[in-house]
Amino acid sequence: MDTTDAIVIGAGQAGLAMSQCLSERSIEHVVLERGRRAERWRSERWDSLRLLTPNWMTRLPGWEYRGTDPGGFMTAAEFATHLDRYADATSAPVHEEQAVEALTFDGDTYHLATDTSTWRARNVVLATGWCDQPAVPTVAASLSSRITQVVPRDYRNPHMLPGGGVLVVGASATGVQIAAELRESGREVVLAVGSHSRLPRRYRGMDIFWWLERIGNFDKTIDQMPDPERARREPSVQLVGRPDGRNLDLTELQRRGVRLAGRLEMADGARVTFADDLAATTAIADQRMQRVLGEIDRHIVATGLSGEVFPSDAPRPVRLQEPAPRTLDLHAAGIDTVVWATGHRRAYPWLQVPVLDARGEIAQRRGITSAPGLYVLGQRFQHHRNSNFIDGVGRDAAAVAQHLAPRIAAAARH
């Protein structure tokens, strides 16, 4: 059994950022990764995916984007290479192909078993990712076995799907991007639209993330949210990072021939039922968008930027082009595939320390759990709104390192 001061589980951006923060404090540690470094960016993303966040936002502790296209958007493969370089530059002690299968605590020390090794440490940081397992609604089980079902983690490109039409369920960033790509490949596409957040890619001449950072949107903390649980469940923004900077929203999808429906409610064989909520859902998303853009407008006035930026170019509210279907016979409509772009859930079957709340999420505050020396990183709204973003995980990693360091110092004194 190997012993070290701290073990980080997972070598995505969170685990690598944590490793760098521990190295800065000369804390001996290892990072255990079930696959390769940045595994999810290599094996769980579709081929055409680019980051939603511009390159200049690819900031990690001690590491910034230094390429020639700060306003561009890296492909998933480029971002995996970026993380590889980060791991090399920071000499992150990553042990690859080490899937953690059990983590126990004896009241003083954590005992960790991977498929091929055992470890002990008084400190452990869980960095296994917020976007862990696909969250597929239970109605999926009622679909006919003749319908192919795919989750985004396994989707690569249109060629891998059966030849017919596709029902994409979920209209956040993933759903709209996959729907657009499938439509472009010549498929009939129906998009079931649930609750979503809409923002334009650019506003008044600048990338929307530039504005969100400037108005302090990412600095909002979970303590400032009137309903923290709801804030953590807010749908992700319907955006795409394209080299041409164009928008991808429901208006654009309709223009390209994607049919919109309400939230998928029921399935019975090949027959699916949608809620009568499309107009209401899109109106709520439009109102939320107007609130954010209004905040940006007020910031522009308050900071004297009005003369330097373009006039307001807020997108129009979505106008539905046809009545949304309430039911659809997938076979009759020539639809062979359902893509579940319905988000993610977490699963910790190997975690044998009682730190999960009633929802099965790790109960934490600023990454600190109730088990001494057990931390978590990369949770949605862990502390700040961008805690699970590339650009946000660094300050949480620094906060965890700050809490953890005195424990190491105290242990050394005994």
Ligand X SMILES: Cc1cc2nc3c(=O)[nH]c(=O)nc-3n(C[C@H](O)[C@H](O)[C@H](O)COP(=O)(O)OP(=O)(O)OC[C@H]3O[C@@H](n4cnc5c(N)ncnc54)[C@H](O)[C@@H]3O)c2cc1C
Task: Point out which residues bind ligand X (CB under 6 A).
Answer: 9-15, 32-35, 39-40, 45, 49, 51-53, 99-100, 127-131, 174, 350, 378, 388-391
For every residue of 143-196, DSSP letters joined together read B-TTSEEE-TTT---GGGS-SSEEEEE--SHHHHHHHHHHHHTT--EEEE--S-
Query: In whole angstroms, how close is the CB of 385 to ligand X at the nearest point?
Result: 11
CB of 41 to ligand X, least distance (A): 6
Distances (CA, A) of 90 to 13, 17, 307: 12, 9, 43
Cα Rg, the chain, nearest whole Å: 23
* Alpha-helical regions (H) of 25-139: 39-43, 76-89
CB of 376 to ligand X, least distance (A): 10
6-9 β-sheet, strand order: 94-95, 29-32, 6-9, 123-126, 374-376
For ligand X, the closer CB: 53 or 273: 53
Shortest CB 213 distance to ligand X, Å: 12
Min separation Cβ 86 and ligand X, Å: 12
Name which of 170 and 315 has its Cβ closer to ligand X.
Answer: 170
Tell me which residue of 236, 238, 235, 165 sits closest to 201, measured CA to CA.
238
Residue 325 CA, chain-centre distance (Å), reads: 30
**In the complex with ligand X, which residue's Cβ is closer, 72 or 373?**
72
* Residue 86 to residue 263: CA distance in whole angstroms: 41
Tell me how far, at minimum, the Cβ of 73 lies from ligand X, in Å: 7
Closer of 40 and 395 to ligand X (Cβ): 40
By beta-carbon proximity to ligand X, the closer residue of 203 and 209 is: 209
Burial of 22 (0-12, 13-18, 19+ CB in 10 A): buried
Do the beta carbons of residue 62 and residue 90 sit within 8 Å? yes
Q: At what angle do helices 13-24 and 393-413 cross, to 10 degrees?
A: 40
Q: How far is the CB of 98 from ligand X (least distance, A)?
A: 6
Pick the closer one to ligand X by CB: 194 or 378: 378
For ligand X, the closer CB: 208 or 390? 390
